[in-house]
Amino acid sequence: MLNLKNEWYEAHISKKGAELHFLAKTNSPNSLWTINEAFWNRVAPNLFPIVGRLKNDAYTIHGEPFKMTQHGFARDMEFEIESCSESVARLRLVSSPSTRLLYPFDFEFIVEYTLTESGLEIAYCTNNTGTVDLPYSVGGHPGFALAGPIEEHYLTFDRPFSTQRHLLEGSYFSGETMDLQVSDRMALTTALFERDALVIKQPPFTIIHLMHQTKGKLATVTCENWEALGIWTKAGAPFLCIEPWWGWADEVSATGNLYEKAGIHVLAPGKSDRFAYHIGL
């Protein structure tokens, strides 16, 4: 584990997947959930080079078939430590013969953690080190500890909004939507997740708070430019994931061509992208 600490916060990060495992205010309990494999075997995986699931876990590049499982391979790979100070860590994954079997591109993927007085910024830097366009998506998946049954919790936002929830059929988007209106708060219930994650594309807000009825605020996630937001848990699980995404899962009608995938980013050779979000407690 890499341990970051400043006057206000502490964070622990594993080199496997560059995954955040612990985040707390100084001398306070962990705000993230602790792994219980009966529910889920991860804490806050980083999603690259896809977000969500590909149709049949497969895709093509110029007609050549490839296989890749849900959320991509970065979350299961050992990252190099590019740099680490008391409050900033940069971990790097570089393309290799093993990644090219799954994803035939040259890349550098960096996850950067920065502790500040207001919390933790998580940034994703993707560099195309190859000679062809790089199709990719990226996202976060932090799981926050609940303080009791999910019905004791609710979400609030920085503004009222009216939008649509994009519905999943299995692991893929069905094309169906459901109107979603929030004026004050969104109640959390098990029924809300009967069709898997609650997904909002192009979220019309920048701040989301996870609240408990008596304990108050548990966590805040802020993002200025997310392209989608996933909110997810499992029945009876003691966590809620609030997931900033730049990309999303396949639709049931997906062709399999990765360059045509909904939500995909295409990065030209020699170019870089950076996306970031912030967790406060």
Write out pLDDT tens, residues 163-175.
Answer: 999 999 989 999 9
Domain 2-280: assigned CATH number: 2.70.98.10
- pLDDT over 70 for what percent of the chain? 100
pLDDT recorded at residue 163: 98
Helix (H) / strand (E) containing 100:
helix 97-102
pLDDT recorded at residue 62: 95
Q: What is the pLDDT of residues 215-259, one digit of tens each?
A: 999 999 999 999 999 999 999 999 999 999 999 999 999 999 999
pLDDT recorded at residue 280: 98
For range 180-188, the mean pLDDT: 96
Strands 143-145 and 2-5: unpaired
**Rounded distance, CA 20 to CA 84, Å?**
14
User: Are the C-beta atoms of residues 169 and 153 closer than 8 Å to each other?
Assistant: no
**Rounded distance, CA 97 to CA 179, Å?**
45
Residue-range domain boundaries for the chain: 2-280
**Rounded distance, CA 190 to CA 168, Å?**
16
Q: Which amino acid is at 251?
A: E
Distant-in-sequence, close-in-space partners of 96: CB < 8 Å, separation ≥ 6 = none
pLDDT recorded at residue 220: 98
Helix (H) / strand (E) containing 23:
strand 20-25
Q: How confident is the model at residue 101 (pLDDT cuts 50, 70, 90)?
A: very high
Task: Tell me, yes or no, if the pTM score tops 0.95.
Answer: yes
